[in-house]
Chains A and B, each alone.
Chain A
Amino acid sequence: MFDNLILGFSVALSLQNLMYCFLGVFVGTAIGVLPGIGPLVTIAMLLPITFNLAPIPALIMLAGIYYGAQYGGSTTAILVNLPGETASVITCLDGYQMARQGRAGPALAIAAVGSFVAGCVGTLLIALAGPPLAEAALKFGAPEYFSLMLMALIAAAVLAHGDMVKSLAMVFLGLLFGIIGTDVNSGMARFSFGLPELTDGIGFTIVAVGLFAVSEIVKNLESGGEEKHEVFTKNITHIYPTRADIKASFWPVVRGTGVGAFFGALPGTGPSIAAFSTYMVEKKMAKDPSRFGKGAIEGVAGPEAANNAAAQTAFIPTLTLGIPGSATMALMLGALTIQGIAPGPQVMTQKPDLFWGLIASMWIGNAMLVILNLPLVGLWVKLLQIPYRWLFPSIIMFCAVGNYSINNSPMDLYLVAIAGILGYVLVKLECEPAPLILGYVLGPLMEENLRRALLISRGDPTVFFTRPISLSFMIASMLILIFMVLPAIRKKKEQALEEGGG
């Protein structure tokens, strides 16, 4: 492992990669600070541009944007009570209260340090868990891969927020869109509407930008005027937390890291659920739970550690198995594919410089964030004052130029427009686009493995249940489905009982 990490650091510490890492965390933090533009939109909008870079700097920069946005989100949560992205909603609860009491400095410092500790542990976990997982995955055959992807998709749809039935439907919609293009086995063009541009399939970045960036902008514009925010910066008297603060935060950070690392590695759950669970744990364990929501430092330290740990460990299934657990990870995987690298367990052995370089860069990036975040708070706060009417045309610009640059084809922009309309309609009808993008990424792989599995078994579908590893993935998928259906039944029962009793 140490040889690998040394290789990683030698890659990540090259001047060029350090620069892209810095650029990534800087841009990520800046955009994470801006309300209404989360990590997903940021990555979707900058993804096409990284196509013009070499694979290693491209991925290092994207990863930097991802966890930078995570950091930036908590800064605004504490100072303005505005979560820059969903995972920092929890940080608002106690962080903003601390800021109102004049303790914005310690809140920001604890958030940064907690995130850094969690980020280090997360990075170490990837380095530890990666090789054995990839080794196991290399032995997977087609049936195992199919079952694993099925499980990942079901988990992502069911555990994500929103309506479960519609999320599952979105997975299938994504799988169906994934078919567009030429069938590898027969060479037949499917769903191409007679357009030669569609025989290669719809570019991944087109779908991502349409579904996430365009729909998000329109959603922000549909309601009334702009909001004004009150910023608590004049109250920053001291930055350093007191000894009592550190003592109170130590165990919450440790627990948050554990909870976050666990949820991050699971498909479908991510930083948001991790932060929320940690907050609940801390509240339960506190001697005086009534302090929570009124500026308890544990309520900042725990969730901040959790969301950053989860952000790191989310890379484990993505990098080692080639199976993304969340929409953001699907975008990272898409970035690999755009660079011509087939995602999967072979990445680690065939491109060790990329894999370990990325991991080392995450640690470096986390360190940069601690250094960057505190002194630059003033700058981040200034960014908040940029009105949205200047921001959204600029976001559109990145989306437009980026997507044009991939094929130099106006057709791609027409497709972005169509994907944008679809994305907005889906969001309005409360159909989550995140499961759709997962289905879209995994669709072609699933078909390929399904065909191969059934070819091996001579058309016998029991192959998925007779091989032990595949069987366990199938059982897990079933359990997830049953487990999530149960509370619904219970709730219905309760409703019926209430109506009957009342």
Chain B
Amino acid sequence: MKDLANNKDFLAGLLLLVIGAGGFYMALDYPFGSALRMGPGYFPRVLAGILMAFGVFVLVRGILKFEAVKGRWGWKPLAFIIVSLVAFGWIMDKWGLVPALVVMFIVSALGGHEFKWKEVLILTVVMSAFAVGVFVYGLGLPYPLWPGSY
């Protein structure tokens, strides 16, 4: 059994089981109906049930036959990239395209192997100019570029 937290199939099975159970629980609120006249709850409950069954199968298989997750977990790059996406959406909505792009480039670049300020700033300037040119002037997307230009 060894380490369950590093057991590939145990974790995969658990994930499927949790999503399946969550889906099933939520679908209980939707009328089930019958095979003849299916309610909105019919298909989701059947699918969630099948998914849970897959989850149990994979989970048990993982316990019986240990296989470790390959490589390291890249939580750090994942976190930076996720934050850069969320920040882009939030800032874009509030202050416009240019500040959103600048934050997005700097934050996502922090997730890489090496981070050189000079390089990242040049990349940010060049690619932001490219993005503004292509999206705002080329494709004509109606975005404010700077805060206050709403």
Contact = CB atoms under 8 A, between A and B. Distances in A.
Do A and B pair up? The answer is yes
Contact of A169 (B36, B55, B70): B55
Interface size class of chain B, counting residues whose CB lies under 8 Å from the partner chain: 35 or more
A165 B58 contact: yes
A234 B85 CA distance: 42
B91 to A, nearest CB: 9
Chain A contact residues, majority secondary structure: helix
Interface stretch (A131-139, A278-286, A345-353, A418-426): A418-426
Given A191-B26, A400-B89, A455-B36, A49 B139 contact: yes
Contacts of A411: 89
Contact of A429 (B15, B19, B61, B108): B15
B74 interface: yes
Contacts of A429: 8-9, 11-12, 15, 69
A410 B112 contact: no
B77 A221 contact: yes
Nearest to A174: B47
A332 to B, nearest CB: 20
B84 to A, nearest CB: 6
Contact of A218 (B81, B88, B101): B81
B40 A185 contact: yes
A188 B38 CA distance: 13
A186 interface: yes
A493 interface: no
Given A52-B141, A393-B105, A450 B12 contact: no
Interface residues of A, number: 65
A414 interface: yes
Given A186-B40, A219-B74, A393 B123 contact: yes
A401 interface: yes
Nearest to A176: B47
B127 A394 contact: yes
Nearest to A210: B85
Interface of B: 8-9, 11-12, 15-16, 19-20, 23, 26-27, 30-31, 34-40, 43-44, 47-48, 50-51, 54-55, 57-58, 61, 69-74, 77-78, 81-82, 84-86, 88-90, 92-93, 97, 100-101, 104-105, 108-109, 111-115, 119-120, 123, 127, 131, 135, 139-141
Across chains A and B, which 7 residue pairs bring their CB atoms closest together, nearest first?
A222-B74, A413-B89, A459-B36, A410-B89, A221-B77, A169-B54, A429-B12
Given A172-B54, A176-B44, 4 more contacts: A226-B113, A392-B111, A420-B81, A458-B36
19 contacts: A169-B54, A179-B47, A190-B30, A191-B26, A222-B72, A222-B77, A394-B127, A404-B89, A405-B139, A405-B141, A410-B90, A410-B93, A413-B88, A413-B90, A421-B82, A428-B73, A429-B11, A429-B15, A455-B37
